[in-house]
Copies of this chain bind each other. A is one copy, B any other.
């Protein structure tokens, strides 16, 4: 049997969960394939209902889920209650997207003369791709795990899903799976609509299985690369949608530092220590101007850091890794620890840590992602120094600019510098706390992600769809959304968008 460890106490207990064998994993993948044959012919309305039933199913087990997740992650009941709400909201948001129907990209070109001669009638829309493997993350036991955005968006698309449970919250994964599959079965979804496997090897077998046609992953760069290697050695390569690594630089201009000294210090401390600093959008680097206001922000951060107690990390691997990274960032990355909080107590505790480096000392080795409550302050005297540092940093999911009330040209220059590689640019705010909505984008150039879309926001559904065009088809062959008289969703007809009647 597998074990689970309470990171707040360090106490390990046996669970009733065991490693999924290769044979079982293959059977689960094949069951997902059979369920897909049902799901791919289900209506949008049916799937919207399914997603809503699953959101309700999570609510029924809320107290148990939060309690078990807290014991396994130490993230706190307040945060976990909020995160479970976010998971439910994601299921409901995809139900809304299904009913709205734009995601199908229904497109009709009528037959007719074209500059290149007679054109046949073409009707195209998107169809689900098939069973998707989803790897739960360590740091979001609900919103990026079994009950996460990958699951919700794949089911919304009409794909079945096989989860690989994260070893840091096996019981949360198991209970989430039970809550969701009970609700799905009651709604009438076939067995295999969702499956789950446990153990690292089961994850590898899953990704290699021919029934699996795509992989959703939120985790470490190393873990993602290992899965990509398996995919590259498959007979039929499949898409890998990975969210892998992010430093999330935050730049404070001199004007911002002097105008909002106190707010920036307080907000930044909250952001880099939220969830013990284990957010993919945690600001890991702050560019602070040299001079009095920058000093004041750094002093404020120092005081808050020194006063803070130890923060519970998710597992011993993250804890050990953080120690190694701090060693490298100080030895090779030239950063000096200027403040550090408490770290006494049981469990996997990290001391919140603030480091400082000058822009001239900053190198690629300073820019290593530290998963935990660690922030590196880079002191600069000119924007060119910031640009040079940005050039040596890997791409990120987010970048944040704190600017003054009257420096539009400077803001524009910074935004223009960041746009080519970053997924979201935050102004006068903090990158943690990702809004789940239509306009959200949670991405960024490699190594932040390797794909256009990730599991956050409505466009996540597009990963699990593929176009099919029908040429001169009988009406009876067409999905209803492509029939001539259908008017309930936005469609592009002969090049122009037409809204529902």
Contact = CB atoms under 8 A, between A and B. Distances in A.
Contact of A429 (B107, B403, B472): B472
Contacts of A499: 497, 499
Interface stretch (A45-53, A177-185, A431-439): A431-439
Given A116-B86, A120-B429, A470-B427, A439 B476 contact: no
Given A435-B120, A474-B408, A467 B450 contact: no
Interface stretch (A4-12, A301-309, A440-448): A440-448
Interface in A442-501: 443, 445-447, 450, 452-453, 459, 465-474, 476-477, 490, 492, 494-497, 499
B471 A437 contact: no
Interface in A364-413: 403, 408, 411-412
A342 interface: no
B116 A427 contact: no
Nearest to A471: B426
A436 B465 CA distance: 22
Interface stretch (A196-204, A287-295, A416-424): A416-424
Contact of A472 (B119, B426, B440, B474): B426
A423 B467 contact: yes
Query: Looking at A411, A424, A438, which has the most chain B CB atoms within 10 Å of its CB?
Result: A438
Given A107-B439, A472-B427, A477-B415, A420 B127 contact: yes
A317 to B, nearest CB: 25
A124 interface: yes
A119 B437 contact: yes
Interface residues of A, number: 78
Contacts of A411: 474, 476-477
A123 B437 CA distance: 11
A4 B229 CA distance: 39
A425 interface: yes
Interface of A: 40-41, 82, 85-86, 89, 96, 100, 102, 105, 107-109, 114-116, 119-120, 122-124, 127, 130, 228, 232, 236-238, 403, 408, 411-412, 415-416, 419-420, 422-429, 435-441, 443, 445-447, 450, 452-453, 459, 465-474, 476-477, 490, 492, 494-497, 499
Given A116-B435, A438-B495, A441-B469, 4 more contacts: A96-B495, A119-B437, A425-B471, A445-B466
